[in-house]
């Protein structure tokens, strides 16, 4: 009981609303226990029976002490004064007939009553109401097949049995006089609540936490139960009491408990029938009987759908359509996202595209653009990406201000029953983690479905938070029309064969209600069938397939200029000296007054200023130059990923710089050291009319966040959208997005996308989890032919880019990184860009670029040839080492130490795919007397070797051999032992520079 006293003491200074929230988090789960010396009689209302009621009474007391019984008033006053609950309770003085509170109920009861018994009865009623609100959905009639309910055929006529902690009476016939709307199961209190059947006609004052009374404040217990049954135990099951917001809970209670709230007018019923006819008859017309959903929302101008495919269906491609919303009389744009058979993979993509559309139209509250996600029940419960997507819902840089999730609950996953497909009671339980209300509804009740969808839309429009609609239905034909479901679900499909279709059931109901006649129904069916036939006839005249019809975002105006296709050539990606200086000075400054930064940052900014004065860039400054110049030109830049604001990479860099600067290099967001949450983003201070820069630390997710950024990049071609892995290795948990959307995006979905993946890569002795971005995987998925030397033509390099499925680069200089990022926007088409970014090169003293390499007229270098003594005398060169990435710096250091600068040439391949056949041919032809060696730090079965070797063989004009220098094949990407790592590195360097090393096979 000491815990209870302490809780009340803490709550004393809070407002009523704050108290309610605190209580909902704390006291809701608290079950009071008595101290050994405390008498039961001293606290009859503080036992386990009433613990659920305490928070409501305290909340009401805080609003006005006169709203509660005097005994509660005395108790709360004493408890707040520090008394133990056993001593806090005192029997109240006798009440007069004119007293407020309990006196009015006494009068309704017909006279003086036992106060303690009356209080306990009211507490019991309150607990009963709460039980319906918490547990009513468990016994709602949600299954159209009626096979998931408890079968009472063999049950005794009266029994008590515990159901999820709630004791229920189950009877085969209604309790006396209760009425017969609920013949399936009657829920009533037992001794658990302290009420009996004799209490059915007693009148009870309703608490403030229910709306079942409408305009009435008191009701007989019989009517209370009837209204609760109607609200929570029919064709709609509402899960919401886990939400820790009182206002939101009250909002939902009002939507479902208010008497008559679900009544439809005759016109609304006829409209609903018309929509069902169109849906059902269209499927019938196509000889396709799959379940179809038509989305409708009257609050927004743009709606994005994500639909799950299953490999053998025809709706993988997307679409884009405008129509008039008859409610608002405004045009509404609907986009259907292209989606793979990888279930739920499209979820974060839809969210990212929705966020982008909100961003571009200035919709900061989600009032003009929204998303609707359609899920399957088994996939919703089974796929982890659902959880990752939900957890983006309230993050500042990822929220779409509420999504409506519609779960098409067929009660089966292909052939797997729910009891084998999930451990939770419902497929929708994952939504509880973000306090999203869940509305379960029997899909054979179109009016209930319509009402629930309306409430879901209003919820999203009111609170801008996620909401789930669980449509409990069934699959009439199994997994598809050719499936035989009787193999594995014989009893279910015996029931389905007897089940009337939802349209037939609804029509029979409306005819019985005299809403429509049989003739009117048949005329409406014939009218719509004629529309379908006429449309099919017109379709035969269509001769051209317009690709734009299958795009969710057609990018109007991007691919043409003045009505003509845009030029394929790409302008110089360099910028002026003045612009470099201006951006560099911003990067080295704090453009906000009275802003205190960390001392270590002061040294970093000073170092940047020194580089600008010396006209050089390191990796972070080169990136700054690329981003800043694009922002100045009105191109939005969005950088997302784990810790990207600071730029956290680990590596063995201690021989390059001091320990206090480890693990960070970017610092695009500065934090005031004296003011909490005060930040400065210098990149947003480059130019008055610049585009905004968005840099956001993501949640610890790769699959969900990469999908989100992919969707963001889909919305517009005029934005540079980048996702950075904390380590390149970690992209493997986002592999589904890479395989299904990025590498094959244009081939599968007939659309282009310019997303950039930044994957830190490099063998730094950090072990197998933090070394390799697995370049072999990306290169294996490139679509260029290794065995065909392409025909050389004007703008060959640009045409290569246009024809490839994605671009893979491993830049070794800040200038080349600068150029490849700018090229991504300046070229006249969009391709995904995979960048293997460095770790140790971030501050390597040799990995710097001069401003001269970034001025107008400069370009991205696909290949960086040898420019030292070896290049001056190519006939004397005995070996050409081809490499990519940071191994170049280890090779040049080793070459210098061995005094071989004039006999060994080192050529860097910066763009791996599409392969630079033209430039590589020029390099191999220059050194005709030299051995050709591919050197990499990765293991032989990994990295670039298997991609490079056949293309180099196709490139060379004679029988010269391509030798390999690198680590041997291995199962893991790297050793976890630093000494072993260094030994392996020295071994591969020895091989690369031993001019007599290659006597066996390449």
Kindly give the interhelix angle for 518-539 and 266-285, rounded to the nearest 10 degrees.
40
Q: In the structure encoding, which two tokens stand for residue 426, read together?
A: 């419902």
d(CA 422, CA 104): 51
Which tens digit of pLDDT belongs to each residue from 719-734? 999 999 999 999 999 9
CATH number of the structural domain 577-650+664-853: 3.40.50.12470
Reduce the DSSP state of residue 892 to 3 states and report it: helix
* Distance from C-alpha of 831 to C-alpha of 278, rounded to nearest angstrom: 40
Per-residue model confidence (pLDDT) at position 294:
32
Give the CATH number of domain 266-288+321-549; options: 3.40.50.970, 3.40.980.10, 3.40.50.300, 3.30.1360.70. 3.40.50.970
Which pLDDT value is given to residue 545?
A: 65
Residue 788 neighbours by CB under 8 Å, 6+ apart: 954
- Spatial CA neighbour of 108 closest among 195, 209, 219: 219
| Sign of the four-CA dihedral 673, 678, 684, 686 | negative
Name the residue with tokens 């990469």: 706
456 Cβ contact partners less than 8 Å away, ≥ 6 residues apart: 404, 439, 467, 468, 469
User: What is the structure's pLDDT at 941?
Assistant: 96
Please tell me the distance from the alpha carbon of residue 724 to that of residue 642, in angstroms, as a whole number.
Answer: 7
Residue 623: closest CA among 819, 772, 768: 819
719-724 β-sheet, strand order: 693-697, 636-641, 719-724, 756-760, 833-837, 807-809, 911-913
Neighbouring-strand partners of residue 696: 640
Which residue has 């008498």 as its token pair?
39
- Residues in the chain with pLDDT < 50? 1-52, 95-102, 105, 108-109, 149-192, 288-294, 296-299, 308-313, 650-662, 1000
pLDDT at 359: 96
Long-range Cβ pairs for the range 60-65 (8 Å, 24+): 60/207, 60/208, 62/16, 62/19, 63/16
Pair 471, 294: CB distance under 8 Å = no
pTM: 0.84
The tens digit of pLDDT for each residue in 415-470 reads 888 888 899 889 999 999 999 999 999 999 999 999 999 999 999 999 999 999 99
Count of other CB atoms within 10 angstroms of residue 890:
19
Could you please report the per-residue DSSP string of 451-512?
A: HHHHHHHHHHHHH---EEEEEE---TTTTSTT--GGGT-HHHHHHHHHPPPHHHHHHHHHHH
In this structure, which topology does domain 48-81+115-149+186-235 adopt according to CATH? Helix Hairpins (1.10.287)
865-993 has the same fold as 577-650+664-853: yes
Element (H, E) at 808: strand 807-809
Question: How many Cα neighbours within 13 Å face the side chain of 160?
Answer: 9
Is 724 within 8 Å of 639 (Cβ atoms)? yes
Give the model's pLDDT for residue 196: 84
Q: Kindly report the CATH number that applies to the domain delimited by 865-993.
A: 3.40.50.11610
Instruction: Return the domain boundaries, the chain.
Output: 48-81+115-149+186-235, 266-288+321-549, 577-650+664-853, 865-993
Q: What is the 3-state composition of the chain as percent helix, strand, coil, each rounded to the nearest 5?
A: 40, 15, 45
> What pLDDT sits at residue 80?
67
Q: Are 900 and 866 in contact (CB under 8 A)?
A: no
- Distance separating alpha carbons of residues 285 and 533, to the nearest angstrom: 8
């Amino acid at each position: 009981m000491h815990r209870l006293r302490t809780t009340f003491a803490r709550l004393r200074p809070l407002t009523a609303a704050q108290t309610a929230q605190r209580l909902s988090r704390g006291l809701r789960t608290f079950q009071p226990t008595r101290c050994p010396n405390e008498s039961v009689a001293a606290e009859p209302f503080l036992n386990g029976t009433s613990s659920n009621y305490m928070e409501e009474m305290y909340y009401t007391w805080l609003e006005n002490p006169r709203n509660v019984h005097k005994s509660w008033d005395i108790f709360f006053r004493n408890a707040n004064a520090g008394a133990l609950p056993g001593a806090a309770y005192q029997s109240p003085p006798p009440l007069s007939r004119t007293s407020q509170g309990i006196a009015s109920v006494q009068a309704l009861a017909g006279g003086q009553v036992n106060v303690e018994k009356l209080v306990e009865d009211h507490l019991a009623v309150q607990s009963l109401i709460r039980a319906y609100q918490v547990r009513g959905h468990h016994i709602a009639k949600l299954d159209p097949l009626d096979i998931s309910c408890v079968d009472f055929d063999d049950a005794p006529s009266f029994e008590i049995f515990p159901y999820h902690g709630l004791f229920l009476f189950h009877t085969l016939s209604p309790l006396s006089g209760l009425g017969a709307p609920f013949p399936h199961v009657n829920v009533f209190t037992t001794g658990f609540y302290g009420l009996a059947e004799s209490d059915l006609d007693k009148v009870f004052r309703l608490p403030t936490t229910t709306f079942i009374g409408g305009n009435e404040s008191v009701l007989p217990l019989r009517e209370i139960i009837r209204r609760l049954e109607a609200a929570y135990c029919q064709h709609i099951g509402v899960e919401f009491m886990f939400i820790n917001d009182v206002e939101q809970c009250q909002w939902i209670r009002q939507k479902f408990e208010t008497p008559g709230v679900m009544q439809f007018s005759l016109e609304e019923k006829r409209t609903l029938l018309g929509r069902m006819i169109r849906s059902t008859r269209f499927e019938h017309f196509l000889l396709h009987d799959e379940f179809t959903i038509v989305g409708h929302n009257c609050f927004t101008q743009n709606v994005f759908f994500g639909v799950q495919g299953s490999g053998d269906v025809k709706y993988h491609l997307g679409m884009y359509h405008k129509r008039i919303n008859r409610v608002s009389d405004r045009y509404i744009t609907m986009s259907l996202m292209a989606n793979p058979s990888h279930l739920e993979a499209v979820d974060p993509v839809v969210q990212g595209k929705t966020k982008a559309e909100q961003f571009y139209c200035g919709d900061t509250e989600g009032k003009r653009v929204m998303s609707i996600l359609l899920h399957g029940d088994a996939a919703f419960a089974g796929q982890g990406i659902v959880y990752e997507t939900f957890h983006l819902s309230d993050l500042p840089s990822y929220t779409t201000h509420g999504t409506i999730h519609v779960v098409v609950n067929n009660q089966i996953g292909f052939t797997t029953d729910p009891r084998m497909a999930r451990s939770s009671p419902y497929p929708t339980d994952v939504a509880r983690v973000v306090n999203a209300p869940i509305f379960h509804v029997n899909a054979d009740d179109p009016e209930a479905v319509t009402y629930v969808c309306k409430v879901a839309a209003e919820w999203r429009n009111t609170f801008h938070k996620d909401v789930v609609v669980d449509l409990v239905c069934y699959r009439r034909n199994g997994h598809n029309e050719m499936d035989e479901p009787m193999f594995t679900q014989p009893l279910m499909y015996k029931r389905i064969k007897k089940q009337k279709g939802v349209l037939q059931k609804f029509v029979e109901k409306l005819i019985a209600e005299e809403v429509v006649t049989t003739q009117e129904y048949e005329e409406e069916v014939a009218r719509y069938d004629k529309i379908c036939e006429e449309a099919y006839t017109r379709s035969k005249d269509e001769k051209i397939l317009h690709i734009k019809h299958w795009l969710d975002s057609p990018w109007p105006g991007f691919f043409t200029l003045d009505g003509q296709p845009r030029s394929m050539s790409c302008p110089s990606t360099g910028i002026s000296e003045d612009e470099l200086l201006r951006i560099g000075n911003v990067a080295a400054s704090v453009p906000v007054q009275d802003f205190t930064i960390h001392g270590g940052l002061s040294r970093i900014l000073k170092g940047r200023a020194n580089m600008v004065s010396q006209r050089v860039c390191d990796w972070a400054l080169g990136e700054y130059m690329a981003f800043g110049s694009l922002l100045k030109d009105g191109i939005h830049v969005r950088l997302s990923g784990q810790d990207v604001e600071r730029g956290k990479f680990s590596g063995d860099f201690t021989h390059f710089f001091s320990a206090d600067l480890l693990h960070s290099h970017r610092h695009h967001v500065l934090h005031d050291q004296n003011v909490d949450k005060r930040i400065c983003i210098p990149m947003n201070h480059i130019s008055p009319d610049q585009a905004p820069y968005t840099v956001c630390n993501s949640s610890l997710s790769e699959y969900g966040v990469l999908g989100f950024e992919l969707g963001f990049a889909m919305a517009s071609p005029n934005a540079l959208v980048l996702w950075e892995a904390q380590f390149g290795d970690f992209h493997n948990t986002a592999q589904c997005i890479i395989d299904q959307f990025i590498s094959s995006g244009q081939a599968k979905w007939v659309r282009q996308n310019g997303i950039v993946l930044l994957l830190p890569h490099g063998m730094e002795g950090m072990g197998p989890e933090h070394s390799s971005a697995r370049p072999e995987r990306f290169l294996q998925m490139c679509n260029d032919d290794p065995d065909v030397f392409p025909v050389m033509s004007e703008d060959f390099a640009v045409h290569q880019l246009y024809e490839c499925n994605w671009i893979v680069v491993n830049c070794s200089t800040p200038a080349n990184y600068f150029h490849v990022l700018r090229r991504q926007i300046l070229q006249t088409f969009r391709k995904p860009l995979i960048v293997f970014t460095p770790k140790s090169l971030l501050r390597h003293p040799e990995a710097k670029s001069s401003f001269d390499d970034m001025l107008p007229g400069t370009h991205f270098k696909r290949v960086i040839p040898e420019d030292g003594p070896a290049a001056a005398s190519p006939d004397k060169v005995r070996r050409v080492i081809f490499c990519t990435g940071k191994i170049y710096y280890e090779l040049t250091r080793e070459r210098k130490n061995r005094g071989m600068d004039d006999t060994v040439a080192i050529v860097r391949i910066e763009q791996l795919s599409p392969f630079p056949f033209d430039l590589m041919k020029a390099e191999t032809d220059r050194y005709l007397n030299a051995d050709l060696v591919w050197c990499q730090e990765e293991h032989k079965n990994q990295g670039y070797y298997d991609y490079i070797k056949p293309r180099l063989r196709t490139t060379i004009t004679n029988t010269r051999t391509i030798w390999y220098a690198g680590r041997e094949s291995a199962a893991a990407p790297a050793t976890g032992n630093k000494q072993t790592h260094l030994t392996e590195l020295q071994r591969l360097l020895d091989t690369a520079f031993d001019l007599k090393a290659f006597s066996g096979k390449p």
